[in-house]
Chain A
């Protein structure tokens, strides 16, 4: 008697091999057989007409905080993700002394945009060390977690306030090595660092004060365990990014470790950047180094409001001048008919329709719910105003707190990005799940891979796309029990409809602690998700199963 048999689906096993009709049998949280299976089971999951694949792995998230009250990392799990990697970009919630919590909260709020209540109401701080954090999240996981430990918090633990002031001395570096060993022993799957991020006051995070000797010493410890080094390079300048690729390659070769960097995204304004990045990665792989670029699937949207000056208006000098003013003067200017007439005239004879008509009103702010999701063009017609005037008046009516979205403003050309994602050395990731909560949704990238790059453009086959999100990711990260539908592996399984898997529309949700807002996307086409052999999500509902583990 098996625990579960997933019956009659097209088995796409994660290897990249063609799918085949078959069954998957599960016992004690493991896959025990794949193929034509006879026998009985406590539960049958019918998968006829559906794809049966290994659960997806998301290698770049910031769910560190959310996992303390939401063990499913919602909505990640309903998108078919059965394992998340938090602790990226140099930040994790352990090791962290009680006295340093506020400092790290500030850094997390800068990255995640998590409401303050998340840190004061949603959980009890019971830990300082990594093992304690692990124990805190393990109580109620329904998704698997492969956590990184952050370089910035290790530095803070060892150096205190000096962590954000100077380079470490030999004794401090040695202490950081010891702490990293302790974290790896407690279940961390690697170390993350950042050359870019800042805290809430705009100060560089602690990891940015490290000299190369420090990173080299920490990489030596990673080498003892064969674990991952994740970095955020200076992605705003391609030449520096390439220099970082070379540096990662040296660390990879010297210490025999995998390394990965993100974000990598395409822009038609710098059309050669990804090609140069990948070419350098190819060179380094040919030397034996492992330097994995992580590329996101989703396009980048620009969002802004008139509450703050935005470069969105950088081609409208008068708008820039007015929006730069302090709030009170800005509102006064926007209420002045003569000024507004000039502003509208600046947007062209069509009243800004071409420039602004396609902007979409986002929810979650001062905008009325009934306007959420509508284009400025439509709203302007309803109001009997030209588009630019509608933008100004609508904003004024709601204290300027009306967020607008310019969709698909970057990383948006499917025919360019598809071949990049399909490249064998490009690691699909960089979702940032759990971060940027108040700016945009970081969920649904896996569904978008299938809808846009499998079904629409055909850049990847179904089997390739599944392999990218499962076995290849597990191999890159050394997650030995994950990523494949084969006997002996953990029974992390997603059952989905190849014809409809995708991502829903972005919408605001007020489900953060203290009724905090974030943007989310629902999944489409996902039927059932099993985590370690238990049904965690089915028929649009999360179950009570808590079978997630910290996996290594």
Chain B
């Protein structure tokens, strides 16, 4: 098991402000899973940081990639 939270999936959702946002599901080292929604700019940065051209390519990335995009 990874010692840090990893992304186990992501999908596009509708944001409160009418933009497309990125819902990222994380699995923590203790096995707990939790979702976090990234706004459009942060979601796009995450994809760029991870070199992902498709949301499915975010799977397996460290949660730290999200922070790098903030």
Chain A residues in the interface with B (C-beta under 8 A): 235-239, 263, 265, 267, 269-270, 273, 300-304, 309-312, 314-318, 320-321, 324, 406, 409-411, 436, 439-440
A-B contacts, 15 listed (Cβ < 8 Å): A236-B38, A238-B34, A263-B16, A270-B13, A300-B15, A303-B19, A304-B19, A314-B20, A315-B12, A315-B54, A318-B53, A320-B47, A406-B14, A409-B13, A439-B18
Given A236-B37, A237-B34, A237-B36, CB of A302 within 8 Å of CB of B16: no
11 more A-B residue pairs beyond the given contacts A302-B15, A302-B18, with a C-beta to C-beta distance below 8 A? A235-B16, A236-B39, A237-B36, A239-B34, A269-B11, A273-B35, A310-B19, A311-B22, A311-B44, A315-B54, A320-B47
Given A239-B34, A265-B16, A300-B15, CB of A311 within 8 Å of CB of B40: yes
Instruction: Decide if B35 touches A302 in the complex (CB within 8 Å).
Output: no
Instruction: Decide if A311 touches B17 in the complex (CB within 8 Å).
Output: no
Instruction: Decide if B14 touches A411 in the complex (CB within 8 Å).
Output: yes
Residue of A nearest to B32 (CB): A239
Q: How far is the CA of A320 from the CA of B47 in the complex (A)?
A: 10
Which listed residue (B15, B18, B54) contacts A314, Cβ 8 A?
Answer: B54
Given A238-B35, A320-B53, CB of A300 within 8 Å of CB of B44: no
Which listed residue (B18, B38, B43, B53) contacts A303, Cβ 8 A?
Answer: B18
CB distance from B29 to the nearest CB of A (A): 16
Chain A residues near B8 (CB-CB < 8 A) = none
Q: How far is the CA of A311 from the CA of B18 in the complex (A)?
A: 12
Residue of A nearest to B38 (CB): A236
Q: How far is the CA of A113 from the CA of B24 in the complex (A)?
A: 28
Instruction: Decide if B17 touches A267 in the complex (CB within 8 Å).
Output: no
Q: How far is the CA of A335 from the CA of B22 in the complex (A)?
A: 29
Chain A residues near B13 (CB-CB < 8 A) = 267, 269-270, 409-410
- B48 lies within 8 A of chain A by Cβ: yes
Chain B residues near A410 (CB-CB < 8 A) = 13-15
Instruction: Decide if B14 touches A311 in the complex (CB within 8 Å).
Output: no
CB distance from B48 to the nearest CB of A (A): 7
Chain B residues near A269 (CB-CB < 8 A) = 11, 13, 23, 35
Instruction: Decide if B22 touches A314 in the complex (CB within 8 Å).
Output: yes
Instruction: Decide if B20 touches A304 in the complex (CB within 8 Å).
Output: yes
Q: How far is the CA of A235 from the CA of B53 in the complex (A)?
A: 27
Given A236-B36, A315-B55, CB of A409 within 8 Å of CB of B43: no
Q: How far is the CA of A267 from the CA of B11 in the complex (A)?
A: 12
Instruction: Decide if B18 touches A436 in the complex (CB within 8 Å).
Output: yes
Instruction: Decide if B14 touches A317 in the complex (CB within 8 Å).
Output: no
Q: How far is the CA of A536 from the CA of B49 in the complex (A)?
A: 55
Residue of B nearest to A439 (CB): B18
Q: How far is the CA of A439 from the CA of B15 in the complex (A)?
A: 12
CB distance from A414 to the nearest CB of B (A): 15
Residue of B nearest to A198 (CB): B39
Q: Mark B28-68, 1 if CB is under 8 A from A, else 0.
A: 00000011111110011001100001110000000000000
Given A237-B36, A237-B37, CB of A267 within 8 Å of CB of B14: yes
Q: How far is the CA of A309 from the CA of B53 in the complex (A)?
A: 13
Q: How far is the CA of A249 from the CA of B35 in the complex (A)?
A: 24
Instruction: Decide if A311 touches B34 in the complex (CB within 8 Å).
Output: no
Chain B residues near A270 (CB-CB < 8 A) = 13, 23, 35, 37
Chain B residues near A304 (CB-CB < 8 A) = 19-20
CB distance from A195 to the nearest CB of B (A): 14
Which listed residue (A301, A314, A411) contacts B55, Cβ 8 A?
Answer: A314
Instruction: Decide if A311 touches B43 in the complex (CB within 8 Å).
Output: yes
Chain A residues near B38 (CB-CB < 8 A) = 236
Chain A residues near B43 (CB-CB < 8 A) = 311, 314
Chain B residues near A235 (CB-CB < 8 A) = 16
Instruction: Decide if B20 touches A300 in the complex (CB within 8 Å).
Output: no
Instruction: Decide if B21 touches A440 in the complex (CB within 8 Å).
Output: no
Q: How far is the CA of A310 from the CA of B22 in the complex (A)?
A: 11
Chain B residues near A317 (CB-CB < 8 A) = 53-54
Residue of B nearest to A438 (CB): B18
Which among A239, A267, A324, A436 has the greatest number of chain B C-beta atoms within 10 A?
Answer: A267
Chain A residues near B17 (CB-CB < 8 A) = 436, 439
Residue of B nearest to A308 (CB): B40
CB distance from B55 to the nearest CB of A (A): 5
CB distance from B43 to the nearest CB of A (A): 5
Chain B residues near A267 (CB-CB < 8 A) = 13-14, 23
Chain B residues near A265 (CB-CB < 8 A) = 16
Residue of A nearest to B42 (CB): A236
Which listed residue (A273, A320, A409) contacts B14, Cβ 8 A?
Answer: A409
Which listed residue (A301, A303, A309, A411) contacts B44, Cβ 8 A?
Answer: A309
Instruction: Decide if A311 touches B16 in the complex (CB within 8 Å).
Output: no
Chain A residues near B23 (CB-CB < 8 A) = 267, 269-270
CB distance from A347 to the nearest CB of B (A): 14
Chain A residues near B11 (CB-CB < 8 A) = 269
Chain A residues near B44 (CB-CB < 8 A) = 309, 311, 324
Instruction: Decide if A314 touches B47 in the complex (CB within 8 Å).
Output: yes
Residue of A nearest to B34 (CB): A239
CB distance from B8 to the nearest CB of A (A): 14
Residue of B nearest to A435 (CB): B17
Q: How far is the CA of A304 from the CA of B14 in the complex (A)?
A: 12
Residue of A nearest to B36 (CB): A237
Instruction: Decide if A302 touches B53 in the complex (CB within 8 Å).
Output: no
Q: How far is the CA of A300 from the CA of B17 in the complex (A)?
A: 8
Chain B residues near A436 (CB-CB < 8 A) = 17-18
Given A238-B34, A302-B20, CB of A311 within 8 Å of CB of B12: yes
